[in-house]
Structure 1
Amino acid sequence: MTAERALRLGTRRSKLAMAQSGHVADAVRQVTGREVELVEITTYGDTSREHLAQIGGTGVFVTALRDALTRGEVDFAVHSLKDLPTAQPDDLTLAAVPLREDPRDVLIARDGLKFTELPDGARVGTGSPRRMAQLNAYAKSHGMRIETVPIRGNIDTRIGFVEKGELDAVVLAAAGLSRIGRTEEVTDFLSTDIVLPAPGQGALAVECAATNGALAAALAELDDPFTRFAVTAERSLLAALEAGCSAPVGALADLLADGQIVKEMRLRGVVGTTDGSELVQLSTTGPVPTSHDEALALGRELSAEMLAKGAAGLMGERAL
């Protein structure tokens, strides 16, 4: 590859997107020896003030970046992988899925409170039906009374609701706070036994044109195989449930080890109504995938079990 011009990296304009794209840009400079410049692109999800479930959720943060790739305005793009629709366009390739950050959700609450310490009737803000479903279900089963409040906005806006006293707490992704250096504000890292993350949460997707084989090969140096197989299994579950990325679906694939020896991959999935009254939560285990098809099969297996338990009925109008 020649070094006559900088590679153009398409990114959303938010502080978080710029931070995570900056990390990828540094890594690409190292593996290619080329300069990388960030090209800021505004997406529909950034400009719309509606709730994500109302504007469709799927692809609202992605389409403008992909359009810029297709038009040749940028050479590659970085997405939060949980925002990607499960169907991959033929003209684009998912060149790399770098090592995943912490996939958990976290709580930022007033007075340094943990989730189980929140006062009776606490108002908890989140823009995610998935989080609402699981937080409400946990609260109901443990004799807590909380009110989940739909919110939108960037990290500063969401934390501001707590700082101004409008909410008792907000729930955010651990990975986002880590990438912008604000982990110290977290008051509780929520166990995945309480809240399963969104499929692909904590992972990034590096995408380029399928016809640019040389760039795709270079970007592949950033790929972490286990992260790719884990998120493939999670997204396979999401796709088989025919749910979009704003649906109340949580999934997490992780490794089960005996000492230093990795034995199996476990995939957990959950679907629920936002009020927490109904929840389908199941898991399956299998050999650690060594191929894309094996990872897909794990997700499809679990989705079939969840659908047999009534998961489809929990993703309709009531859930959103």
Structure 2
Amino acid sequence: MSEQICAGRTVIVTGAGRGIGRAHALAFAAAGARVVVNDLGSALDGAATGETPAEQVVAEIRAAGGEAVANGDDVADWDGSRNLVRQAIDTFGGLDVLVNNAGFVRDRMLVNLAEDEWDAVVRVHLKGHFAPLRHAAEYWRGESKAGRTPSARVINTSSGAGLQGSVGQGNYGAAKAGIAALTLTAAAEFGRYGVTVNAIAPSARTRMTETVFAEMMSTQGSDFDAMAPENISPLVVWLGSAESGDVTGKIFEVEGGKVALADGWRHGTPIDKGQRWHPAELGPVVAKLIAESVPQEPVYGA
């Protein structure tokens, strides 16, 4: 298999100025892709800083002989996300891959969570996935209708907090759960246009997790940092390649050298009375359903 697995492909990576997003941008460039590096330059809580990390990543890619441009649009803004997609098309002649990665946290126990902290996190994660996805899909649908069916890819970023829940992250977890559902719906809708849609739930050391993972190293050996964000990118690059065309609607958990396919909500085996239940009857029924079910994954931090 060629190391240039994404040669000639145009890729947008949102939130690519630091952490996992930066690792994705560099990995795609190393795999031959032309990269639009999107980043607002915001602080951990989403506040503006005036920094230009996207420009720094672009400089790294160009210094290594790759092609990249910076973008500073707000991905959760409708016009901003449209401009991001348009920049990729105008600069490189098309768009093949969208990696939705941008986000920040405002952690708080639910009883202390303020309305603006809820709104800000849900906006940047959930709307910040939907808006670029919507504009990219419009372009790909147009290409398909014109007889130029693309081999396009979307890779979204969910989280274990969204799949299993996480104490102190009700806003973040709800947004990440929404991203998982959005991934399934988009995969079902976009297949007719030549577009696959998958998601990852990564575990790595970033600004959002550095206090948790600061001291964690792999037991596989001191020369392998299992929490390095660069460990997440190989799967994302493969999912962005033409080789992954038969994989869609999946959510992968990625950490260190581990890759797993998340097994989401499934229909349970019902107990059917054949008519309406009386409330007083349902205690033993619910107890039986729970006793016969697969144990639920524990909530992080519980």
TM-score above 0.5, yes or no? no
Q: Normalising by structure 1, report the TM-score.
A: 0.31
* Higher RCO by CA contacts (8 Å cutoff, separation 6 or greater): 1
Name whichever structure is richer in helix by fraction.
2
Q: Normalising by structure 2, report the TM-score.
A: 0.32
Name whichever structure is richer in strand by fraction.
1
Max radius of gyration: which structure?
2
